[in-house]
Amino acid sequence: MLALPRLLLPPSLLCTISNPHPLSLLTTTTTTTTRRIIALSQSRQHAAAIPSESAVRDFWQWLSDEGVANSSSSPPPVKPEFVPEGLGLVAQRDITKNEVVVEVPKKLWINPDTVAASDIGRVCGGLKPWVAISLFLLREKALGSASSWRPYLDILPLATDSPIFWSEEELSEIQGTQLLSTIMGVKEFVQSEFIKVEDDVILPNKDLFSSPITFNDFLWAFGILRSRAFPRLRGENLALIPLADLINHSSSITSEDSFWEIKGKGFFSRELIFSLRTPIYVKAGDQVYIQYDLAKSNAELALDYGFIESRQDREVYTLTLEITESDPFYGDKLDIAETNGLGETAYFDVILGSPLPPSMLPYLRLVALGGTDAFLLESIFRNSVWGHLELPVSRANEETICRVVRDACKSALSAYHTTIEEGLAYSFLET
């Protein structure tokens, strides 16, 4: 029996801070949905209150007091200033390509070590890094002026542009997309983590968490971490880097070279610092940008940062396939799949304008094997069967997989509340 491709939330997405999986918009309505997301993002761009000028000045003074804003060159390469995106790093002088623009010592990072050394460290042992750091942010925020981190916390937005903060009415605009199902799955995951940490840590330790912490508070901290953590500083290495995390994204920067590093400094290079460089030449008065991640799909960009791009290779549709336990050849098919690096459930990212993933058709043919084609499942073919599956097995097998994929696409399209033509007309009226 062939299992229908299903639109499932990959388990890896449940570790959203450490390894987000690309779930994205249905490619057949990309233009319409893209325009709607862009319009929603623009309308929400200043919905979350931006920090006051005095808060930004206090933040810069705090950095100066900590030695971060003091530069051997005068003026410093960059300063935080108000930009169309909210806050950003603006060049104070001409900056050459690959020049270091920010260096932040480890003492100003917010990471699991920061939490462990804090007053709540003793009750956060064993928590996931992002959960522990979320609790730290919320407690320090509640302390107000008593927190040494207040200058940094005061410049953080009340919400990001991520659709996890959208209203039900706004989310209805992306009905039918995989992005919507991903958002719902992420929020359910964050809520389940909140319920656990509330029962295990927050409520039993009211002496440490004297101010109430709600799910919305916890979701805020999650959104802050997701939008501000640098790509390789996630999972066990999760960290917030004040000042450096004000850097904004530009789609015009396409270099895959790393623009930051952690290196030693000082006596015997014992002090770790986060060093951020500009990937291009920047004129004085212009904003410094980086490329967040060339490999991210539009769904990941939307989920993390609240924006998407029109680049074709950002448009991804994740097809989910599985070998069902009711299949009479379940054991043999699973063994073949696992031998070739797959499993009972497999996820294939179909990218607009690109060839299909190499193992997608062989996996489909494997799942569809039956009848007179089932001889390929015999043990004598075990080492060579995958090579056979890379080519059509039989007319019946090919017709089956074509029918199933077609029906799955029809099912996915039926989730949209408008047709493609209606959506394009709607977009035309909005422009």
Q: Determine the Cα–Cα distance for residues 83 and 263; give it in Å rounded to an integer.
A: 30
Residue 75: cis peptide before it, omega within 30 degrees of 0: yes
DSSP β-bridge partners for residue 82: 87
Q: Determine the Cα–Cα distance for residues 237 and 19; give it in Å rounded to an integer.
A: 12
- Residue for token pair 């990212």: 349
Q: Retrieve residue 231's tokens.
A: 């790509």
- Residue for token pair 């989920």: 303
Closest by CA position to 243, among listed 206, 200, 269, 275: 275
Out of 152, 289, 292, 363, which one is annotated catalytic?
Answer: 292
User: CA–CA distance from 253 to each of 162, 259, 287, 303 (Å)?
Assistant: 22, 11, 13, 21
Q: Determine the Cα–Cα distance for residues 77 and 252; give it in Å rounded to an integer.
A: 21
- DSSP strands (E only) in 47-178: 78-83, 86-91, 100-105
Q: Can you count the helices (H) and strands (E) in the chain?
A: 14, 9
Residue 23 has what DSSP assignment?
Answer: -
Q: Determine the Cα–Cα distance for residues 309 and 63; give it in Å rounded to an integer.
A: 33
**Is position 347 annotated as part of the catalytic site?**
no
Q: Identify the helix (H) or strand (E) that includes residue 69.
A: none
Contact 244, 102 (CB under 8 A): yes
Residues forming the active site: 292
